[in-house]
A and B are shown apart, each in its own frame.
Chain A
């Protein structure tokens, strides 16, 4: 029962030579379910892998951000001063400080200086004032962000109030320190850097011993 179908398969040359043969027996279809099951399982493994991969993106992202200094991630942990580092007096970079309160947090939070001029390699100490106006005790943390992005990994902090959570009694006020320097390896094009802190209420993510590790904080 051969039936010629002219040009049924449109993609190959010389189409007049192609046939569709209508076969009478199709017993060879029987074991196909096993084949389907096998391939389905393989594909399902791929699907599960991709679901896991989605979660793997989280540490991967943190790692890349930290090594590349993107998105303030490198600014959230302490750097050490390289003993061979020298102060580059020939250049001056202006560092601006800004603050933001997250989600209408009732705090007063501002830098004591709006901006400061720094030579690369020189360590500076600046203070940020925070006062708790919420009327209750609070645990907060400042999250840093540095722009321009390509300067971010050269602004290094040896000590910072942003490394840890900060506990505030009702109506408590404090000056909180940050020691930083700018790595002399920074591009010559950078004339100004902005260091921005956003203060978050971290009451939901409290860590133990918050009160103990607030080094250098001056309670007012």
Chain B
């Protein structure tokens, strides 16, 4: 493989300036690698903030009655935890991975619109500062849940809701610009010979995700704009007094919200499709079906939103349609899961940290998919709705789904990015503690929900105490084990890892990015490689 390393040591690119020094480098950068790093760092910071909020929630639920915080603050914590984890952690992390990897994977020197790229990142710190500032205001911070249903967020919303609305606008603008950039990059900047069906699956899934973002983020923007108008300009989109309808809010929100959950998971599917073949030392099984299945999931995502609102009085015909459409999503998802299993089958597998997270994802995401199928059944959804069963379901698909894929991606590409390997031993500790913590936190929630414990309530009946205490203990194990991850990332970034990474890094790794030296030079593929 050594003959495959493109030579970047000959200083033939000396005419290109390097990065600026200090703070300005990060503020003014248009380099896709720098912006990827910014996104990922931002996401990591947000992850610990939102995780801390989750721990406050779990402490409050350690025992019935008041433990630590009053109910008003509890509501603010659940709301902020959800909002930050979705918009501040998973989405920026995925965007960061796209920035780092998409140009390197398709043989492009950078993103197509580098200045836009800078702007789309730098909107985020401001958007989130605005959201956090609501915690310091005299009225409560947003306390209506991350789904901000009207009229809780319109008629009854606290004053800070307006800050929330504008921060959503900014996050939306940021996501739209990032998605725009990614689509243009993938369409226009593929290296000669990189045909559509040679593109890595990660690039494919991000392309589909970007289209989903372009389609639904404007709907979210419209939705919060309607809220703003209802709150201040005497319209009544969601106010029955003026002829509007609060149920309409749920339709508009979930028309955005359901594609949004695929936005959160599809790039993760791409990551897993890169990681598993590497450590199974086999070609990905069913590449074409992977691509079509991802596209299918993206399309079906627009036809299932009413399954979030079966109990709002939707007619039976609509309930049936959305129930079957939802279950249909299991088909392409199943294709993907079986393809990954087939890739592992009879491979020579080794269990390095990225592979562990990928396998953990494979098992636990599938579990989350099964509880999703239970929720998709309209008749049983009447029982499970708004209970802890729902909380368990979406944490299985978001924590052991999206988050695990992001962690797997970091462990997989970190040596390539930084040029330093990390301690495999610590990585394994991180994995096992995460798996134990995560299952201890969310598995009991299934049973709590089935037994009737409602979500978003800071108190509960006495009989739920034991399981809630298990959840809280698990949450602390999960939360604190992430410090290992932080340690690994920081040491690797600042050159204190366990050693220098080779350009190949992983024996079985394939793809254009592995042909570059480690650490990756500041400018890569300035002359496009030709793939024949």
Contacts and interface: CB of A to CB of B under 8 A. Distances in A.
B532 A10 contact: no
A51 B529 contact: no
Nearest to B248: A61
A200 B246 CA distance: 14
A210 interface: no
Given A12-B198, A32-B189, A68-B315, A47 B214 contact: yes
Range for the number of chain A residues in contact with chain B = 35 or more
A21 interface: yes
A151 B200 CA distance: 53
Contacts of B215: 46, 50
B468 interface: no
Interface stretch (A33-41, A78-86, A170-178, A212-220): A33-41
Interface string A137-167: 0000101000101100000000000000000
Interface string A184-215: 00000000000000101110110000000000
B6 interface: yes
A8 B4 contact: yes
A19 B4 CA distance: 9
A20 interface: yes
Contacts of A102: 240-241
Interface string A23-61: 111100100100110011001101110110111011001
Given A10-B200, A150-B316, 19 more contacts: A3-B4, A4-B3, A5-B1, A5-B515, A8-B4, A11-B200, A11-B201, A18-B531, A21-B530, A26-B528, A40-B180, A43-B180, A47-B180, A51-B219, A51-B222, A103-B155, A198-B240, A205-B236, A205-B243
B527 interface: yes
A40 B114 CA distance: 13
A71 interface: yes
Contacts of B201: 11
A78 to B, nearest CB: 16
A40 B1 CA distance: 39
A182 interface: no
B241 A5 contact: no
B196 to A, nearest CB: 11
A8 B287 contact: no
A11 B314 CA distance: 45
Contacts of B112: 32, 36
Contacts of B113: 36, 40
B314 A36 contact: no
Interface in B190-216: 192, 197-198, 200-201, 214-216
Interface centre among A21, A35, A73 (most CB of B within 10 A): A21
A58 B248 contact: yes
Contacts of B283: 10-11, 13, 15
A68 B321 CA distance: 15
A136 interface: no
A118 interface: no
A197 B298 CA distance: 41
Contacts of B314: 70, 149
Given A21-B530, A32-B188, A10 B221 contact: no
Interface string B233-259: 010110011110101100110010000
A58 B226 CA distance: 10
A3 B2 CA distance: 11
Contacts of A24: 527
B337 to A, nearest CB: 19
A36 B4 contact: no
A47 B313 CA distance: 31
B515 A8 contact: yes
Nearest to B530: A21
19 contacts: A6-B4, A9-B511, A10-B283, A22-B6, A23-B527, A39-B187, A46-B214, A47-B214, A47-B217, A50-B214, A51-B221, A58-B237, A61-B245, A71-B247, A73-B245, A149-B314, A149-B315, A150-B316, A204-B241
Contacts of A54: 218-219, 221-223, 226, 252, 255
Contacts of A198: 240
A210 to B, nearest CB: 14
Contact of B531 (A20, A53, A61): A20
B222 A36 contact: no
Contacts of B264: none
A44 to B, nearest CB: 7
A143 B197 CA distance: 56
Contacts of A19: 530-532
Contacts of B1: 5-6
A161 to B, nearest CB: 15
Contacts of B514: 8
B320 interface: no
A100 B215 CA distance: 39
